[in-house]
Amino acid sequence: MQAKRRRSLAATFALLPTWIAAIFVYIGTMVWSVRLSFTDSTIFPSSNYVGFAQYARLFKNSRWLASLENVLIFGVLYVAGCLALGFVLAAALDRKVRFESAFRTIFLYPYAMSFVVTGLIWQWMLNPTLGIQATVRALGWQGFVFDWIVNRDMAIYTVVFAGVWQGAGLVMVIALSGMRGIGEEQWKAAQIDGIPVWRIYLSIILPQLGPALAASGMLLSMGVIKTYDLIVAQTGGGPGYSTEVPAKFIMDNLFERQNLGLASAGATVLVLSVVMAVAPFRYALAIRARRRGAH
């Protein structure tokens, strides 16, 4: 008994730094931020509670509303784009092509690079006076216009471009490894039935990859809410605030505009939206796990 207790003491001791991090950083700072969101703090934290006033201010702020709309457009198109392109690339590579590993390397390399680098690269490629537009005009099509990055209505789509370029390779890797796990028998059976190859991928392979693709979709979505450096590097939130996102709005108000209360309210909204997005998913997983345990 004595010996057993000493041993578990060592294990408890080993977890101590992590406990401290979890309690003070994860819980402590979060509670602190939520509290700040109910005060009128500007540069310095104040203890003057104003109820939901900061939240009311937040949702009257056109810049915040624009950032929500932008992150929604970006998020949906970015996740859908990565999943679709990644799946198609994986299916193409699954067709026993030559130089498969070279193609794979090319499709995944952007994923190794930072969002800052990705943003800067695409900023140059899309620069109308220098990049694709200028090149096509130099070839003779003087009227060619591709100025999305400086166009208020289109700039957010250029960020999607860069995001998909960066993230599609990840989905390809996951989908390809899933496809390799599917048995030959299914292929043979489907081919005997005369089903065309593209139908096999769409109706037979895709459903089986569902869980893996859902997991990568989840991962990409988590990244969407954190999106900050890609925007800062590629567009700086502009033109105007047509590519502003919540993470950047919060950072600006926190460190440049000295709007501590407002920024904290924004951060709290962000956390709540993550909880609302993740909770049903977690709940479903827990139920499924329990059911599986019961069988």
Partner 1 sequence: MTTHPHPRGPKPSRLSGGQIGLYAFLILSALFFLLPLYTMLVTSLKSMEEIRQGHIFALPATIDFDAWKTAWSGACMGTQCLGVRVGFWNSVKITVPAVVISVFIGAINGYALSLWRPKGSNLLFGLLMAGGLIPYQIFLYPLVRLLANLSLYNSVAGVVLVHVIFGLPLVTLLFRNYFVAIPEELCKAARVDGAGFWCIFLEIMLPMSVPMVVVASIFQFTGIWNDFLIGLVFAGRDNLPMTVQLNNIVNTTMGERAYNVNMAATILTAVVPLAIYFFSGRWFLRGVAAGAVKG
Lookup result for tokens 């993230």: 167
Alpha-carbon distance 263 to 160, whole Å?
25
231 interacts with partner 1 by CB under 8 A: no
Span near partner 1 by CB under 8 A; candidates 59-67, 99-107, 184-192, 202-210 = 99-107
Among 39, 70, 259, 264, binds partner 1 (CB under 8 A): 264
Span near partner 1 by CB under 8 A; candidates 24-32, 142-150, 152-160, 186-194 = 24-32
Q: How far is the CB of 73 from partner 1 (least distance, A)?
A: 19
Query: Residue type for 60, please?
Result: K
Lookup result for tokens 């030559």: 98
**Cα R_g (the chain), whole angstroms:** 24
Among 1, 43, 112, 294, binds partner 1 (CB under 8 A): 112
Quick one: 16 or 294, whose CB is closer to partner 1?
16
67 interacts with partner 1 by CB under 8 A: no
Quick one: 149 or 263, whose CB is closer to partner 1?
263
Q: How far is the CB of 34 from partner 1 (least distance, A)?
A: 8
36 CB burial (10 A radius; 0-12, 13-18, 19+): buried
Q: How far is the CB of 82 from partner 1 (least distance, A)?
A: 12
Q: How far is the CB of 42 from partner 1 (least distance, A)?
A: 12
Binding mask 136-175 for partner 1 (x = CB under 8 A): --x--------------------------x---xx--xx-
Nearest in space to 163 (alpha carbons), one of 226, 93, 89? 226
Q: How far is the CB of 188 from partner 1 (least distance, A)?
A: 19
Span near partner 1 by CB under 8 A; candidates 53-61, 71-79, 102-110, 180-188 = 102-110
Contact between 169 and 149 under an 8 Å Cβ cutoff? The reply is no
Residues 32-61 that bind partner 1 (CB under 8 A): 32-34, 36
Q: Where are the alpha helices (DSSP H) in 59-205?
A: 62-93, 100-108, 115-126, 132-138, 155-180, 184-192, 197-199
Nearest in space to 82 (alpha carbons), one of 152, 161, 186, 198? 161
Q: How far is the CB of 239 from partner 1 (least distance, A)?
A: 14
How many other C-beta atoms lie within 10 A of the C-beta of residue 206?
16
Alpha-carbon distance 113 to 117, whole Å?
7
105 interacts with partner 1 by CB under 8 A: yes
Q: How many residues bind partner 1 (CB under 8 A)?
A: 89
Residues 188-227 that bind partner 1 (CB under 8 A): 197, 212, 215-216, 218-219, 222, 225-226
Task: Output the six-digit token pair for 128.
Answer: 């109308």
CA distances to 80, 83, 179, 213, 223 from 174, rounded to whole Å, are: 15, 10, 9, 8, 17
Among 53, 73, 80, 117, binds partner 1 (CB under 8 A): 117
Contact between 123 and 209 under an 8 Å Cβ cutoff? The reply is no
71 interacts with partner 1 by CB under 8 A: no
